[in-house]
Amino acid sequence: MRIILSFLTLSICITSYQPEVLSNISFTLDELEERAYIVSHNDTIAIPQVDGNIIVDGKLNEPFWKDALVWELPYEIRVGENVEAPAETYVLMASTSSEFHIAFVCLDPDPDKIRATLTDRNRWSRTEDDHIGVFIDTFGDKRSAYYIAVNARGVQFDAMRLDRGGQGTSDDSSFDFMWESAAQITDFGYIVEISLPYRYLRLSNNTRNGRVTWNIKPFRVIPRSFRFETAPIRWNYNLNCFLCQFPAVTIENPDRSFRPVQIIPYVSSFYENTPDIESFDPSYGIDIKYQQAEWVIDATILPDFSQVETDAFQMTTNIRFLPRLPEQRPFFTERTDLLRFPISQTIYTRTLLDPTAGLRWTGKTGPHNWLALGLHDKATWLLFPGRDGSSSYVLDNQSFNALFRYRYDMSADAVMGVFVTSRDYEDGYNRLISADGQFAIDSRHTFVTQLLGSYTKYPREIAESFDQRTDDFFGYGYLLRMERSGRHWNYRIETRDYERTFVTGMGLQQRVGTRTGFVHTSYDAYPDRDFVRRIGSYFQMSGTWDRLTHDPLNLSARGGLIVSAAHQIYADINFQQEREKFFDQDYDLSRYGMFFRIIPTSWYTFNTNFSIGDAIDYRLVEQMNSFSGWINNTFYFLNRQLQVSHNINYYRLFHDITAQNAWIHRTHAELQITPSFAIRNIAQWRDFEWKDPRYSGVPDKQQTFENQFLIRYRFNYATAFYAGAYGRWDTVDNETTNMWQVFAKISYLI
């Protein structure tokens, strides 16, 4: 009898056993593990081309995925250094003749802790959200790559990742293109499915045996007490490059028979009411994009350069040089890596103010990269740089602006380029020519250089008004830099020289007539602790001299300590000692500062930054004490569909009395009702006081309240509808004025 009972029990156990089938997937976890491939740096792996159609819905239940290549992401490369990943991740890849498909199966030991924000594309945090991503270098030249990411709620992010050698990497998130994605949060973790149409990608024509070679790196970010990042390969932290470490894959030669044209017309209306003006301003225009595999032509007529969001105000109450604002206009977003220079002020596209039409040709074939642009502007922005400050003027007549950039990629370790700009307007012009290069000395050391020259002529009346030369004049500048990149020890040494007559007509080089030397070194340690994961220190010295008299204008030394710990704590405590000459007066300045960030829970983030010490009052030309700081609190509600953030900015300049006092409060609330539909409100309060009676030309007190309400419906990155209202109330010395705006805009991708 016991034997019979034992046999029945064993039979029930055997018949009740089923392999673990993951929901929304047509195969088992055991099958994924069996198919998973562990990648090494030197591999070149063939991605299969599979017949069949799929629906991008976050459900891998089509037969298509059973033939896909499977990679595992077994290594945690941040915070740990090539240790075992905290959770299993499988990456499935396959291609068709017209699309590249990639899917992620993300297992999680505690799915309830997955955090992901439902918001507009590109607006979620790559620090705070669970997400996956992939870098794809479609040319295999290790200079730039598509940066594609999707959070666990299915919200897209795309950018271009630029590899700058020893200077690290930078991302251009203004870049957008068309692709599909979907995500599903499940009882075991989450799934993401991505489809990339070849017709929207820039692809190399270099094929071998009917296949093209890409470099690719899928990854996953798991934000918990630390921001963990997993990868398919062990990472080398002592190389002065990022893209050079990607594994290589080959795919069947994509179908290049299409001739895609994107047409994006837009229509907007703008009503404004002020005490002096009542106006209604309808506008319309069109952007056209024609793209081949290796080059693209952009044309624009009456381009849509409107901005629907209230700009975050910058503290400009006590500055010597003009502030720099980020470029967000779509006409300038193609291949922005070609407009990145060792001297970042070489080009500043916001100097193009009110264009009527433009044409741009961008391309790459083999090691050759180029960008040519011509644009007609109804206004002309002029910059007057100087040794002690800068100023600008908008000339009310048209200008024609042209630029050409060529870069030759000799290898992943060496690039050289030339750059030319030309701006012509009535009775004036500016010409700029530049040559630059970046060369890896070895795996850790990089040499960078740039040489520039300019010819300029201002209209006589304008030149005399701003104390500028009235004839044609030439100026030059250069930069030399050596840097070392490593996991622990880094340094950078550079020198710059700008002649007094050097002018970047389409750039923002504001300080000229100077020579500068700079040294920076840092050391990072990574203790194997559960709480503290990084302790770093840095020290830098810099000096600026008048290039004619050799008098020192600025000498400074700065040091600091950086700590990175659990709950994504990041703290930077620093001290700076500086000696500065301003209008031939010497000032000794000391400052203390700190930046602190913590993400203690999934629904709250706190950031603060403050500085206290000495400063120069550039209006009164005297030394004072100063305090500046900002605090940011961000809250997430309704399963991270509602975001509310509040910023406080404060600046105070004082001696025996307060000389300047400035407050800015900014509240941003956004509710994403569906993946496409959202409402947003931005409120901003500014309170400025100039209390010292010696100030002239400014009011004693100015207060401004701004509020903008916006309704947004976005179908894709280019097809969207906006409607909203904006109000502003200004109180200057107890006199109040107000202004109202109502606007609507629709753009459509054809």
Domain chopping of the chain, boundaries: 22-252, 261-304+619-750
- What's residue 337's pLDDT? 80
Write out the two tokens for 142: 């290790």
Q: How far apart are CA 49 and CA 96, in angstroms?
A: 5
User: Is pLDDT above 80 for 167?
Assistant: no
Radius of gyration of the chain (CA): 28
Rounded alpha-carbon distances, angstroms, from residue 451 to 47, 436, 542, 686: 44, 6, 21, 42
- What's residue 1's pLDDT? 44
**274 strand-pairing partners:** none
For residues 67, 186, 154, 140, the Cα torsion angle rounded to the nearest 10 degrees is -40
Q: Which of 325-334, 392-401, 489-498, 555-564 has the lowest mean pLDDT?
A: 325-334
- What's residue 260's pLDDT? 76
- What's residue 93's pLDDT? 96
Q: Are 392 and 462 in contact (CB under 8 A)?
A: no
47 alpha-carbon distance from chain centroid: 31
CATH T-level fold of 22-252: Immunoglobulin-like (2.60.40)
User: Is pLDDT above 90 for 287?
Assistant: no
Q: Which CB contacts under 8 angstroms, 24+ apart, belong to 307-312? A: 308/710, 308/722, 308/724, 308/743, 308/745, 309/682, 309/708, 309/710, 310/682, 310/684, 310/706, 310/708, 310/726, 312/647, 312/666
User: Is pLDDT above 70 for 330?
Assistant: no
Q: How far apart are CA 108 and CA 165, in angstroms?
A: 35
198 alpha-carbon distance from chain centroid: 24
Rounded alpha-carbon distances, angstroms, from residue 379 to 219, 339, 428, 683: 46, 23, 13, 31
662: pLDDT confidence band, cut at 50, 70 and 90? very high
Q: Are 516 and 541 in contact (CB under 8 A)?
A: no
Rounded alpha-carbon distances, angstroms, from residue 366 to 145, 255, 363, 372, 656: 15, 19, 10, 18, 65
Q: Are 412 and 142 in contact (CB under 8 A)?
A: yes
User: Is pLDDT above 70 for 81?
Assistant: yes
Write out the two tokens for 354: 């009110």
CA angle 337–132–488, rounded 5-degree value: 65
User: Is pLDDT above 90 for 689?
Assistant: yes
What count of Cα atoms within 13 Å lies in the side-chain half-sphere of residue 619?
A: 15
Per-residue pLDDT, averaged over 171-188, amounts to: 89
- What's residue 574's pLDDT? 97
Q: How far apart are CA 133 and CA 113, in angstroms?
A: 19
Q: Give the position of tokens 């400052």.
A: 591
- Cα dihedral across residues 355, 358, 362, 368: positive or negative: negative
Write out the two tokens for 637: 């509600």
Write out the two tokens for 151: 């959070």
What pTM does this model have? 0.86
Per-residue pLDDT, averaged over 35-63, amounts to: 89
Q: Are 458 and 442 in contact (CB under 8 A)?
A: no
Q: How far apart are CA 350 and CA 325, in angstroms?
A: 8
- What's residue 326's pLDDT? 57
Q: Which of 56-65, 123-132, 182-191, 347-356 has the lowest mean pLDDT?
A: 347-356
Summarize pLDDT for 226-242 with one digit per residue, the tens. 999 999 999 998 888 88
Please give the single-letter amino acid code of residue 3. Answer: I
Q: Give the position of tokens 């997430």.
A: 636
- What's residue 404's pLDDT? 97
627 alpha-carbon distance from chain centroid: 29
Summarize pLDDT for 365-387 with one digit per residue, the tens. 888 999 999 999 998 989 899 98
Q: How far apart are CA 545 and CA 557, in angstroms?
A: 15
CATH T-level fold of 261-304+619-750: Porin (2.40.160)
